[in-house]
Amino acid sequence: MRRYRITLQTTITLLVCLVVILSLLVTDLLISNWISDRIEKTQAEKATDISRMVARSPIVVNGLRNPQAEKDIQPFATEIKQATHVRFIVVMDMNGIRKSHPNSNEIGKHFVGGDEGPVLQGKEHISIAKGTLGMSLRSFTPVYDSNHKQIGAVAVGISLEQVHKAIAQGRKYIYIGVTVGLVVGILGALFLARKIKQILFGLEPSQIAKLLEERSAMLQSTREGILAVDQNGIITLVNTEGSRLLQKAGFQASPLGKKLEDYMPNIQLDAVLKQGESLLDQVHELKGITIIANKVPVKVKDRIVGAVTTFREKTEIKELAEQLTGVKLYAEALRTQAHEFMNKLHAISGLIQMKDYEAVASYISKVADQQQNEVEFVVSRFKDPVLAGFILGKFSYARENDCEFIIEGEGSVPKPGQSEVTHEVITILGNLIDNALDAVQGRPVKKVILRFDYYEEILVIEVHDTGGGISKDIEAQLFLKGTSTKGPNRGHGLYLVRQSLDKINGHIEVHSKQGSGTTFIVTIPYKKSGSV
């Protein structure tokens, strides 16, 4: 059975609503009790003020002292009662006999309620008791004559129903406020939950945790160093490979939290952070090692919030590029030979179908002789079988492009002492010969001359073509990456030639004249196999 999980939005909504409800309930409880006490106290103070005012009235004092003036107390008490909206005002003598009452029939009778005792002893007090008019809140005040002798008391009563009504009215406003607060709190909770959900791109915490784990695994398993900074250039992330390369370069302290321009001054990200431009294949020197870095901005809703730099040691990339280039050249040579032999087989098949057997024999003999002569010539000149096979492939490729391919030079080229040198020579020759064959296309004379000279462990290679030549403007930048006369997305061949020459401490010269062709002269230290 699948276990139901409460979503983040629902959790936030319920939590905020619960907090709001509890807060409002506690507020209602505290305020309601406070208002109830306050209303009761206010009503008691009101009754006390009225009873004091009546007790100090000359009419009441005179009526209690003078029996002839006693009749004036009832009209006065009735008038004050109507003006103050109290339930009753009772004036009594020291025996508790009423001298005034809302019901005139009760005048002359003893005060009812049993709570008048303290006031007849000169103590002002407040009580709640039941009398002839029902339950009421009563305020008692003693009456004194001019000699400060108590001659009676005044009782002012306020209906408890009126008090409770005032309390209920106060609570009504509280409930209205609580209800409004609750509605606003729920709406706010829903808005907050929706907003947080949008900020988190609709993901639940478990999904975010999973993404974080996957992100961490990917960052730590990649072979490229990865370094991220925020919009202020502060380093916020570096993966395991990045830390290894930085330690290899001599950076011991952790880069996290440091400003990139202070930690690694050579890595400039100003253009990336300020202009949002990506910088690709940038070469940097880091205290003894060379890295190739790609820097791209990180944008959220078209706003730059940081940048990410991926970098790798240049030697690793160079080895991969060289391996790919060598494989490509080998494959191209094999493809050309296969294509050439396929054409020859088609010619032989056509002659056989025509039953011209003499022509078949003559053609096979000619092809065999040509092939045998080429093989013998190349094998006698180049003792390294890999290099010899490569040269044979270029013979076929030149014939396929209707170009005359000539090899010159005296003596032979021995097998090198290190196999890596063969690979570099093939990379250099492959790019120079391919460029030469491209240069003669469309020219009246299509000729490429390849010359080898080997003397005292120095190999000199010349590649000459009858192409249109190279302009002086391009010649100055010929070995820079991306420089080409063949259009966009080209200009990698001579760049790789320069890389290979740097690796084996070689040298290259260019001699070109527009309209008369171009000659590349390569000089390579070349120790033969078996030499120390």
Q: Which distant-in-sequence residues (6+ apart) come within 8 Å of 378 by Cβ?
A: 388, 391, 392, 395, 407
Read off the pLDDT band of 468 (50, 70, 90).
confident
Write b or e for each residue in 258-294: b if 16 or more Cβ atoms lie within 10 A of its Cβ, otherwise e: eebeebbeebebeebbeeeeebeeeebebeeeebbbe
Q: In the β-sheet with 447-455, what is the strand arrangement from edge to edge?
A: 404-408, 447-455, 458-465, 517-525, 507-513
Most confidently predicted of 8-12, 198-202, 367-371, 409-413: 409-413
Distance separating the N- and C-terminal Cα atoms of the chain: 77
List the single range of 114-118, 264-268, 302-306, 463-467 with lowest mean pLDDT. Answer: 264-268
* pLDDT at site 219: 62
Q: What angle do CA 136, 137, 141 make, to 5 degrees?
A: 120
More confident residue, 136 or 315: 136
Question: DSSP of 372-432, one letter per residue?
Answer: HHHHHHHHHHB--HHHHHHHHHHHHHHHHTT-EEEEE-SS-BPPBSSHHHHHHHHHHHHHH
| 199-216 pLDDT tens trace | 776 766 676 667 766 666
Segment 29-36 shows an average pLDDT of 72
CA distance 57 to 69: 13
List the single range of 260-274, 298-312, 461-475 with lowest mean pLDDT. Answer: 260-274
CB 334 within 8 A of CB 393: yes
* pLDDT at site 141: 92
CB 22 within 8 A of CB 29: no
Segment 331-355 shows an average pLDDT of 64
- Tokens for 207, please give them: 């999904």
More confident residue, 198 or 315: 198
More confident residue, 242 or 351: 242
* pLDDT at site 530: 63
Q: Is the pLDDT of residue 518 over 80?
A: yes
* pLDDT at site 329: 54
CA distance 198 to 212: 18
| CA dihedral sign, ordered 414, 505, 430, 440 | negative
pTM: 0.39
Amino acid at 230: D
Q: What is the dihedral of CA 232, 235, 239, 244, to 10 degrees?
A: 140
Q: Is the pLDDT of residue 86 over 80?
A: yes
More confident residue, 50 or 170: 50
Phi, psi of 402 (to 5 degrees): 55, 45
- The long-range contacts involving 247-254, CB below 8 angstroms and separated by at least 24 positions, are 248/289, 249/286, 249/287, 249/288, 249/289, 250/286, 250/287, 250/288, 251/286, 251/287
Q: Is the pLDDT of residue 57 over 60?
A: yes
250: left (phi over 0), alpha (psi -120 to 50) or beta: left
* pLDDT at site 532: 43
Segment 257-285 shows an average pLDDT of 75
- The long-range contacts involving 230-235, CB below 8 angstroms and separated by at least 24 positions, are 230/305, 230/306, 231/273, 231/304, 231/305, 231/306, 232/259, 233/259, 233/260, 233/261, 233/269, 233/273, 234/258, 234/259, 234/260, 235/259, 235/260, 235/263
| 385-414 pLDDT tens trace | 878 878 877 877 787 788 888 888 877 888
* pLDDT at site 1: 42
List the single range of 13-17, 286-290, 398-402, 423-427 with lowest mean pLDDT. Answer: 286-290
Domains of the chain: 9-166 (3.30.450.20), 225-313 (3.30.450.20), 356-525 (3.30.565.10)
Count CB neighbours of 322 within 10 A: 19
Amino acid at 59: I
% of the chain surpassing 70 pLDDT:
78
**Mean confidence (pLDDT) of the chain:** 78
Using only the alpha carbons of the chain, give its radius of gyration. Answer: 55
* pLDDT at site 186: 77
| 212-248 pLDDT tens trace | 666 666 666 667 788 888 878 888 888 877 777 777 7
* pLDDT at site 489: 42
CA distance 87 to 162: 9
Amino acid at 31: I
CA distance 170 to 178: 13
More confident residue, 337 or 526: 526
- In this structure, the strands spanning 279-286 and 235-238 are unpaired
More confident residue, 148 or 10: 148
More confident residue, 251 or 444: 444
Phi, psi of 230 (to 5 degrees): -85, -175
Which 3 state secondary structure label does DSSP give 357? helix
